[in-house]
Amino acid sequence: MEQKYNIKAALEALLFLAPEPVKEKELEEALEISSTKLQETLKSLSREYNEDPNRGLKIENIAGGLIVSTKEDYAEPIKKLYQPKVQHRITQASLETLAIIAYRQPITRAKIEEIRGVKAEKALFTLMKKGLIQEVGRLEQTGTPILYGTTDLFLEHFGLSDISQLPDPEGLMEED
């Protein structure tokens, strides 16, 4: 059977796109080639990747399959670019809203606004966008308002295993 594409380039594309290691048998079937042809092509491609100091990628055999990964030499710039960029700063209004939700959850927006005395829409939007709160249900009453609660990310961010580890709010009050 005549190939309509370059086998080496196709192998490279398959390995590049693979979200997990790919078994050689799967590659043989996808490329419609023999085991011998796969081994020859793989050896050539691996040599290009693994031995060329001007390449940032390598081919590895991991967990019984093949994968393209980055060379260890480039870990530092990769970390700089791909390390999560988390915004830790939130406004005072969002922080107050988050505290109310944490201690009173599940809670509606109307109850949050009643406690704070101001609108909470923007703070709720910000906290949801940052993944610190989520919708946890609906209140069984007219209009079925949304109930808000904290997320696992909230717990992780504040180093809590569960919500019961929040400090006693009475102990947080400032004395005059």
CA 3 – CA 9 distance, rounded (Å): 12
Residue 47 placed within a domain: yes
Whether residue 107 sits in one domain with residue 35 = no
Picking from 42, 62, 81, the residue at the C-terminal end of a domain is: 81
90 or 39: whose pLDDT is higher? 39
Whether residue 145 sits in one domain with residue 108 = yes
Whether residue 54 sits in one domain with residue 22 = yes
Whether residue 126 sits in one domain with residue 55 = no
Picking from 46, 81, 116, the residue at the C-terminal end of a domain is: 81
Q: Give residue 112's pLDDT.
A: 97
Residue 2 placed within a domain: no
Residue 87 has pLDDT above 70, yes or no: no
Q: Give residue 99's pLDDT.
A: 95
Note down the domain range covering 160: 92-172
Residue 125 placed within a domain: yes
Strand partners, 66: 22, 61
Whether residue 58 sits in one domain with residue 100 = no
pTM over 0.85, yes/no: no
Whether residue 50 sits in one domain with residue 118 = no
CA 13 – CA 72 distance, rounded (Å): 21
Q: Give residue 138's pLDDT.
A: 95
- Average the pLDDT over 66-92 and give the result: 81
Mean pLDDT over all residues of the chain?
Answer: 88
Domain count, the chain: 2
Residue 44 placed within a domain: yes
Give tens-digit pLDDT for 95-113.
999 999 999 999 999 999 9
CATH number at residue 18: 1.10.10.10
Whether residue 67 sits in one domain with residue 110 = no
CA 49 – CA 3 distance, rounded (Å): 23
Give tens-digit pLDDT for 3-57.
688 999 999 999 999 888 899 999 999 999 999 999 999 999 999 998 888 999 9
Q: Give residue 20's pLDDT.
A: 83
Residue 87 placed within a domain: no
pLDDT grade for 2, boundaries at 50, 70 and 90 = low
Picking from 41, 56, 81, the residue at the C-terminal end of a domain is: 81
Range among 33-37, 69-73, 86-90 with highest mean pLDDT value = 33-37
CA 118 – CA 44 distance, rounded (Å): 67
Residue 123 has pLDDT above 80, yes or no: yes
